[in-house]
Amino acid sequence: MKKKLLALFVICAFAISILAACGNSGGGEEAPAGSGGAAPAGSGAVAPAAESPEYTFYLTRHGQTVFNVSGIAQGWCDSPLTEDGVAMAKQLGKSMADIPFDKAYTSLSGRAYETAEYIINGRDIPLIIDKDLRETHLGDLEGTLPGTDTRSTERIMDYEGGWHDVNGESMKDTAERVAGAIERIIAENPDGGTFLVTSHGGAITGYMDYLCGYHNVAGGAPGDKWNEFMATWKGAMPNCAVSIVKYKDGVYTVETISDVSYLGDLAPAPGE
């Protein structure tokens, strides 16, 4: 009886060893489909870090307005797009049709909002108003100050003073406002994306200055893009000009300032 039990024990042990060997064949457990071959927990292997999100902003000035034609600096007041202004905005819509905008953000001014609508052109893209994308506030001089007036030029050049003495803003105020709006867009879209931002000549120019111009927050000499803009356009950003800024890993990169190529035959020449 003892011999029979011993023999049975040996047979069972041998069978168990064979099953164990079969279960371990192939060099280990295969990662489940879709797992990317991630190492099992506790294996000591480090999973690859997720790629940080990237943001692309197409900052676009509104189309030509009635006040633009008459030489009145608009600020927070508003005037409608001219026929040419509508044509320019529609042309942007055609030229930008293949850009996969995730969302569009616009100043609350009608001229910027309408420009954004023409660019989106019926696409299923959320259009969000942000008041901080408005133009520089001209205070008591709203709607009365000719854009070519010497007083206007002097105030613009006074980066920190600007229109403070007439209850308005400075270019510094505007630049910081727009910077805050861009930072909110980044915070509200943690996965990154491509965004249309319709705003104003002074607001976008101030923001470009903030990033890479004479008063850039990083300090040092102005960047090449800024110098090219100043040499070409003398700081006067034309209607429907597009400036592209990218953001990734805490770094802003200015790719273009005041690009009018999207306008095709409607693009103005410097000095016009």
Q: 222-235: per-residue pLDDT in tens?
A: 889 999 999 999 98
- Tokens representing residue 214 in the block: 């004479």
Is pTM beyond 0.85 here? no
- The more confident residue out of 271 and 74 is 74
Fold of 54-266: Rossmann fold (3.40.50)
Instruction: Compute the distance between CA of residue 152 and CA of residue 162 in angstroms, rounded to an integer.
Output: 9
Pair 107, 133: CB distance under 8 Å? yes
Number of C-alpha atoms within 13 angstroms, CB side, residue 71? 7
Phi, psi of 59 (to 5 degrees): -85, 115
DSSP SS3 for 153: helix
Cα 80 versus chain centre, distance: 26
pLDDT digits (tens, 9 = 90+) for 167-184: 999 999 999 999 999 999
> For 174-203, what is the mean pLDDT?
97
Residues of the chain above pLDDT 90, percent: 68
Terminal Cα-to-Cα distance of the chain (whole angstroms)? 112
Unique residue bearing structure tokens 């040996």: 10
Cα–Cα distance measured from residue 218 to residue 197, given in angstroms and rounded to the nearest whole number: 23
pLDDT in tens, 131-151: 999 999 999 888 887 765 556
Non-local (6+) Cβ contacts of 239 within 8 A are: 61, 62, 63, 64, 65, 68, 85, 88, 201, 268
Q: Is the pLDDT of residue 12 over 70?
A: no
Which distant-in-sequence residues (6+ apart) come within 8 Å of 110 by Cβ? 78, 80
Least confident window among 43-47, 59-63, 139-143, 168-172? 43-47
Tell me what the mean pLDDT of segment 50-63 comes to.
95
Roughly what angle, to the nearest 10 degrees, separates helices 171-188 and 201-212?
Answer: 80
